[in-house]
Structure 1
Amino acid sequence: MPPDKAGIIPRLYPSTGSPVNQTPAPNTLRPSACPGLLRIVQALDGGICRIKLAGGSITAAQAIAVADAAQAYAGGVIEATNRANLQIRGIGAQSDALIATLLAAGLGPNNAAGDDVRNLMLSPSAGIDPQMLFDTRPLAGQILATLQNHPRFHELSAKFAVQLDGGEALAMLEHHHDLWLSAFKRDGETLLAFGLAGCPALDAPLAAVPLHQGHALVVAVLEAFLDLATPEQTRMRHLPVDNLLSHLRLPLLPVDGFKRPASGALLHLGSYPQHTKNLYYVAAVAPLGRLDSTMLKGAAQLAREQGDGTLRVTPWQGVLLPDVKNHAAVTQGLQQLGFLCSADQPLARLIACTGSSGCGKGLADTKADAVQLAALEPGHAVHLSGCSRSCAAAHVAPVTLLAVGPGHYDLYFRDAAHKGFGRLHARTLSIEAAGALLRARPRSNTDD
């Protein structure tokens, strides 16, 4: 990463409207392999800027600003990430202008040092889901403010992530987080179960706290982590759990009665009723996680005309428009823009990393190969990964194709008894051979 990119510190933060009265030194932003809004990371196809969204939410005006910035200062490629953020790819020499545009739209942190640590994932249907036990957004706002404004928390890794789950029907429960919190009811009281270095779908919680102590719990866990971790121990999985729990100066409750209902596997596609009568959300995915400026602007316009003027980016690499009455019109509009709104569309079940066309570590052109695989209609949820880093998927997919060379992949099936991608089934398959093998295999064996 060029030194000048690591030192970009804007002088105006539009979220406050106040100028910054000091110019930080060029090393104020710590080095990181992860892009941020204030740090452009270089790839084969140009720079990458990651825009971290509070709870995945963005206003229509902000979405249009992202689309305009991508068109004016980059290659026009926008990505919806699996952590419910947006990325702009292909950034050239005008990176300073791009960052200034995004800051002017209110998409930055409230202080430069807080950009890296804004890693808090909510359900895309937070506050509107009929199954929710509470609206997570106020507590999320508290947590995000603390992450940004508590200087010690700026020491956390840019990959350190927290999940807050309010019991919604639409929730990504398989992504691993350093700290996860999940709501449940016991004796009429809403409690927050929590776990470390795992996820609600696969791991038992360690303990619980009353809902009103949720913020205090997050602060206590992060403080204990920073007290115990060495510089090399950057993630929660690097620490013994019992050691950390013993350092929490907070009364903990047993987790008897906790059972997280399974999330609806396909609720991120289509239209569904909200908590409020006669209102719906409409959700779609961007093909292979990518959209262009026209698609994002079009979705923003639909949000203005048919919804509440906001969009939510989902961890399924798509968008959700809340508070819609005419859901059929919104669905049609999204489809016309190029979004995928049904699981019947084969590409809607595939994810793929950038691949060799944009990443120096990619061993195959995963995006092009995924399009070819979709045409073969395997009917499975498949992840194509250009290398073992698995950048496109934050959890193990039912089927993984791991590139071993141009157009060739090793095939894995998810299996709890096997670490990593799962059980190796076949080596060095062409896309045609992988498609044929999957067509011959019942989808129920590998589906989510």
Structure 2
Amino acid sequence: MLRIIPARDGGICRIKLPGGVLSATQAHAIADASTLHANGVAELTNRANLQLRGVRSGHEAALSAALLRAGLGPASGLSSADDVRNVMISPAAGRDPHALIDTTPLCAELLTLLQSDARFAALSPKFALLLDGGERLARVDHPHDVWLAASPGEAGVRFVFGLAGCPEPASENPNAGEDCDTHGTGALAAVPPSQVPALVRALLHTFLDLAAADATRMRDLLATHAADALLQHAQRYLDFPLARDASLRHWERQLPADASLRLGAHAQRSEGMWHVGGQPPLGRLDATMLRGLAALAQSHGNGLLHATPWQSVLLPDVATQAVPAVLAQLSALGLACDPAEAITHVIACAGSIGCAKGLADTKSDALRLAERLPAGVDVHLTGCARSCAAAHCAPYTLLAVAPGRYDLYRRDGHPGFGQCVAPQLTIDESAALLARLARSTPHA
């Protein structure tokens, strides 16, 4: 947020939201600031943050100042502290009735830890932590540098952890294991919740102690050091024993995650309370949408909005009697609230309009594709091979090769996007082929 990054369509300002949470007052401030200093649109990201694009030349300092006044920056005000605020939790943390533990207090502790140790400023801005409380509404297929997942134990809930990957999905998930980074460690050991901050601190110092100058992610360190060696080094920073737990070799998450729970209305843990979610087209919220969401949160919720890593928005703590009105108003604002709507299954990067590396206008092409897409087919459009819009491996990926032309990939266990099933397709050709593929492989 304090370092505006240049791009083809102007500057990019990234706003990190603690736990993905944004107050209604802050939403109004972002709407005002984006209108005055940028292109008037706030984009939801796959890390449950926001970014403003099209920041006007000469407006950078004024934009950052406006966002700081709204309380959207790091406590210290230093850009280095802002960069490391990367902890992902469920957007329904503390409210999901399936959760084993409320991760919001631990998330706050970890964010304080990351910002309070000056040494952690050396971490890459992409270095990230996942804190999974066992919720059904959870994005657990994004590889993280350190992941921790709640698991029942004899003495109560404990956190199983691993490096450079993600929690192993429940076995009934037909895509179990496919999205987790193959360079990750799997489950290594487990600690009680009270030891999580100390464990994370030790692992981060271990990374900084041992990583080469060009190693920015935990997977880079694991390419040169065995996981057991990292645990032994981390032990230097801990006053409790840390070693690989062989009993966790085949550990997996208890429940499969269900991304569709981000949309529509779903009961919370507290009786009579619901969270209601909607997804703006391609994750883009204009100022009118932002202000409308803020008003809804104030009138029918608790004054807070929760960004999700699926580029959607959740309004928590909505009373039963208010649910129909909230759903109607979300739809009126232009947000899709039903997972049957094709636009909720399409993601796209900035494309050639906003990025010099983009080979096609992916945003416009994605909207056209959504009009022709068969039900239930998840597609990722990317303007180049960097895959900025998707940290996970999508079932289908359209990789731009020229304006309006894409190679179609299908996830099938191959590295990267999977197997290329057809080259040089137009959007219409892509839609037709996706329909045929969906009929032949309905669970792809």
The two structures share one fold, judged by TM-score above 0.5: yes
Equivalent residue number for residue 271 of structure 2 = 277
Pick from 332, 335, 340 the counterpart of residue 336 of structure 1.
332
Q: Distance in 2 between matches of 1:445 and 1:164?
A: 33
Where 2:259 maps in the other structure, the secondary structure is coil
Paired residue total: 411
Q: Distance in 1 between matches of 2:333 and 2:360?
A: 28
Q: Distance in 2 between matches of 1:299 and 1:386?
A: 30
Q: Distance in 2 between matches of 1:246 and 1:412?
A: 41
Q: Distance in 2 between matches of 1:340 and 1:74?
A: 25
Give structure 2 stretches of 5+ with no counterpart.
170-176, 181-185
The letter for the 1-side match of 2:85 is R
Equivalent residue number for residue 199 of structure 2 = 217
Q: Distance in 2 between matches of 1:67 and 1:411?
A: 36
Checking the alignment, whether the CA contact within 8 Å between 1:415 and 1:422 is kept in structure 2 is: yes
Give structure 1 stretches of 5+ with no counterpart.
1-36
The letter for the 1-side match of 2:353 is S
Equivalent residue number for residue 19 of structure 1 = none
Equivalent residue number for residue 234 of structure 1 = 216
Equivalent residue number for residue 288 of structure 1 = 282
Equivalent residue number for residue 16 of structure 1 = none
Q: Distance in 1 between matches of 2:399 and 2:390?
A: 12
Q: Distance in 1 between matches of 2:215 and 2:141?
A: 23
Q: Distance in 2 between matches of 1:38 and 1:74?
A: 15
| RMSD between superposed Cα atoms in Å | 1.4
The letter for the 2-side match of 1:128 is R
Q: Distance in 2 between matches of 1:444 and 1:54?
A: 42
Where 2:234 maps in the other structure, the secondary structure is coil
Where 1:169 maps in the other structure, the secondary structure is coil
The letter for the 2-side match of 1:259 is E
Where 1:248 maps in the other structure, the secondary structure is helix
1:31-430 matches, cutoff 5 A? 37-92=1-56, 93-111=58-76, 112=78, 113-200=80-167, 201=169, 202=177, 204-239=186-221, 240=225, 241-249=227-235, 250-252=240-242, 254=245, 255-256=247-248, 258-260=251-253, 261-325=255-319, 326-379=322-375, 380-416=377-413, 418-430=414-426
Where 2:34 maps in the other structure, the secondary structure is helix
Checking the alignment, whether the CA contact within 8 Å between 2:113 and 2:197 is kept in structure 1 is: no
Q: Deviations over 1:267-290 (max 9, x none)?
A: 111110001000000111121111
Where 1:320 maps in the other structure, the secondary structure is strand
- CA change 1:248–1:100 in 2 (3 A) is same
Equivalent residue number for residue 24 of structure 1 = none
Q: Distance in 2 between matches of 1:304 and 1:142?
A: 27
Where 2:330 maps in the other structure, the secondary structure is helix
The letter for the 1-side match of 2:268 is Q
Deviation at 1:265?
3.3
Q: TM-score, normalised by structure 2?
A: 0.90
Q: Distance in 2 between matches of 1:415 and 1:271?
A: 33
Where 1:170 maps in the other structure, the secondary structure is coil
Q: Distance in 2 between matches of 1:199 and 1:348?
A: 23
Q: TM-score, normalised by structure 1?
A: 0.89
Deviation at 1:444?
8.0
Checking the alignment, whether the CA contact within 8 Å between 1:414 and 1:446 is kept in structure 2 is: no
How many percent identity over aligned positions?
53
Where 1:411 maps in the other structure, the secondary structure is strand
Q: Distance in 2 between matches of 1:444 and 1:56?
A: 38
Q: Distance in 2 between matches of 1:374 and 1:156?
A: 38
Q: Distance in 2 between matches of 1:248 and 1:73?
A: 45
Structure richer in helix, relative to its length: 2
Deviation at 1:343?
1.6
Q: Distance in 2 between matches of 1:211 and 1:313?
A: 25
Q: Distance in 2 between matches of 1:225 and 1:186?
A: 28
Over 6 Å off, 4+ runs: none
